[in-house]
Amino acid sequence: MHRRPKEVRDVKKIGFLVNPVAGVGGRVGLKGSDGARIQEMAKKLGAVPEASLRALAALQKASGLTDQIVFLTAPGVMGEDVVKQTAFPYEVVGTLPDGATTAEDTIRIAREILESQADLLMFAGGDGTARNVCEAVGMELPVLGIPAGVKIHSAVYAYNTKNAGEALEYFCNESRNRYEEAEVMDIDEEAFRGGTVRAKLYGYMRIPVLHRCMQSVKSGGYSEKEHVAGIAESVVSQMTPGAYYVVGPGTTTIPIMDRLGLPHTLLGMDIVKDGKLIKADAAEKDIYDLTKKGEVYVILTVIGGQGHLFGRGNQQISPRILRAIGRKHCMIVATKSKLLSIAAGRLTVDTGDIELDMELAGYVRIITGYQDSVMFKIES
């Protein structure tokens, strides 16, 4: 007897947007593709737009879902040209002026997709694109990134093209999707081309929790949220009177401020002492000055996937601060699933001071839950 359960699934409206120039700078060694001048230079160097190809590959991976999806796509090279090559039904959203596409086009069309009541916005690009999308939709519309840029530091991207297609499949097959916040990161490309890495956390967007391809929360008992709450509880219980605690940015650290009943700066460092907020959004100098006044601890999280600890989004913690407080005064927090998502199985540091990087190398204890920690290796 082959009886199939009846599955009634709503047709999902998926916004679709491709940054056609994303990634053009990479293969020709331009370390990024932001700005018209660089894009022109890349073209002259013979760069081929790869974003469209990657986006197409991702859609083809989900080709079994043609009756479950309607794409709300950006016009022309920004999406329509890609969707046209698949069997998916689609509607075009917005218009595109002649000539090269710009960041403003991305922002404008992403807003229109948001207004068209899309269930999810799928976009192909790099960190620059993620920033533009973030500016347009913020936390209002869940997103899913197809990695196609030179710089992929943002956690809103799938690991690769194929995963992006699978993620879309899961999203459409799940009757009740859950969401989590993910970091939008980017580096200053001007500085990067000059030889300095200055990554920055630009914001957060919502991504679907794809628990069928990540670790299951169903039978494990605890959800990610409860682990994060456990981390906050553990950190707060370890706080000693009179000491300064510099709480860094991230979805794992924010609950610590919540637990203390304090407001937090989304992308900055907040200083806490004896349960009170001493300074919000502190600068490097503020923190350094404290190291002369008393005991200072910094509370930081790891960037998932890539395992960066210092040097990405927490430049306020400078080498001189790290030297002053020592590694033992760095409280590192992360959930076990985040640690497991680090492909290399090790953390990396890039403080800009090679000698310090070497000193920081070794094993650290990462707080992973209430009274719970994991030994993890830092590589310089």
Give dist(CA 364, CA 347) in Å, integer. Answer: 10
Strand-pair partners of 70: 13
As a residue count, the chain comes to: 380
| Of the residues 81, 135, 174, 359, which one makes contact with another protein according to CB under 8 A | 174
| Of the residues 37, 44, 176, 276, which one makes contact with another protein according to CB under 8 A | 176
Give dist(CA 38, CA 150) in Å, integer. Answer: 13
Residue 359 binds another protein (CB under 8 A): no
Residue 9 binds another protein (CB under 8 A): no
Indicate the residue type of 275: G
Report how far Cα 221 is from the mean position of its chain's Cα atoms: 26
| Of the residues 102, 337, 352, 359, which one makes contact with another protein according to CB under 8 A | 337
Strand-pair partners of 349: 310
For residue 218, the minimal CB distance to another protein (Å) is 6
8 Å CB contact between 148 and 51: yes
Tokens 């699933």 -> residue = 337
Residue 276 binds another protein (CB under 8 A): no
Q: Which of 69, 110 has the CB closer to another protein?
A: 69
H or E, element range at 308: strand 308-310
User: Tokens for 25?
Assistant: 């700078």
Residue 46 binds another protein (CB under 8 A): no
For residue 3, the minimal CB distance to another protein (Å) is 7
Residue 44 binds another protein (CB under 8 A): no
| Of the residues 27, 43, 162, 259, which one makes contact with another protein according to CB under 8 A | 162
Tell me phi and psi for residue 69, to 5 degrees. -130, 140
Q: Which of 98, 363 has the CB closer to another protein?
A: 363
Q: Which of 160, 315 has the CB closer to another protein?
A: 160
| Of the residues 5, 99, 195, 261, which one makes contact with another protein according to CB under 8 A | 5
Closest CA to 298 of 351, 341, 338: 351
For residue 373, the minimal CB distance to another protein (Å) is 5
Tell me phi and psi for residue 184, to 5 degrees. -105, 115
Which residue ranges make up the site for another protein (CB under 8 A)?
1-5, 64, 162, 166, 169, 174-176, 212-213, 215-216, 218-221, 336-337, 339-340, 345, 362-363, 365, 368, 371-377
